[in-house]
Amino acid sequence: MRVNKYLAQTLNISRRKADEFVKSGRVKVNGETLKNFVDISESDVLEVDGKTVVLNKQDKLYFAFYKPPFVISSTKDEEGRKTVCDFFDTINQKLICVGRLDYLSEGLLIITNDGEFANILMHPKFKVRKAYLVKTKEPLHAEKLRKMSKGVMLEDGFFKPLTIKKTANPNWVIIAIDSGRNRILRRFLKAFDVGIERLKRIAIGDIELGDLKAGQYRELSFNEINSIKRQVLGAKR
């Protein structure tokens, strides 16, 4: 880890303040005063103003969770309704619910205590792809699907899905989007007078809901976590 990042986390200060500590000669690594920014490891001894500082490590948690319908995508609800965090009551850490789904919708959410990772998933500039399985009240025929694939102007601007794919069942379609606008998929379908019986998110980036059942969760794999980070690095270039 870069020494200024380590200092910022350990002392709960800004990265700029940590930079100043290094530049002013207040920081030593293994007894030697730093003259520039270096990477440090857990085996190094870091001192600031002669006092040893140790990073208060907190294990990072990453879960894929199947939110059932009629559950709030939040840590608490003033109306006393069941929330996502009620399913994680054995974990004594502050968790962040990533990729909110409305009260009626179901499917994949990412639950984590890693704020930086949560921001990657939530920030609109990174345009992380999300896929939904939608059951409509009536079959969507080819002509309507063609019109929908071209997009529509909504009250908060134009919206166009990445893809709309038919399934073997004429009442089910898979829609992929990269927008995080509020209730965007429901508003999009309403604009085409499409009634919804069921809306389930099945993927966020390369992370898939898989065979999870409603209310179940699993830990994300190393590859799943890194796939999101790689996508963001590509978006920054």
For residue 40, the one-letter residue type is I
Residue tagged active-site, from 77, 86, 102, 206: 102
Token pair 């290094």 is found at 22
Is 151:159 a contact under the CB 8 Å cutoff? Answer: yes
Q: What are 223's two structure tokens?
A: 């590859």
Beta bridge partners of 204: 130, 207
Report CA-CA distances (Å) from 40 to 2, 57, 120, 159: 6, 15, 25, 46
Catalytic residue check, 156: no
Please tell me the distance from the alpha carbon of residue 219 to that of residue 81, in angstroms, as a whole number: 25
- Judging by DSSP bridges, how do beta strands 51-53 and 46-48 pair with one another? antiparallel
Compute the distance between CA of residue 189 and CA of residue 138 in angstroms, rounded to an integer.
Answer: 12
Q: Are 22 and 11 in contact (CB under 8 A)?
A: no
- What does the DSSP 8-state code read for residue 233? H
Among 200, 182, 184, which residue's Cα sits nearest to residue 135? 200
User: Which residues are part of the catalytic machinery?
Assistant: 102
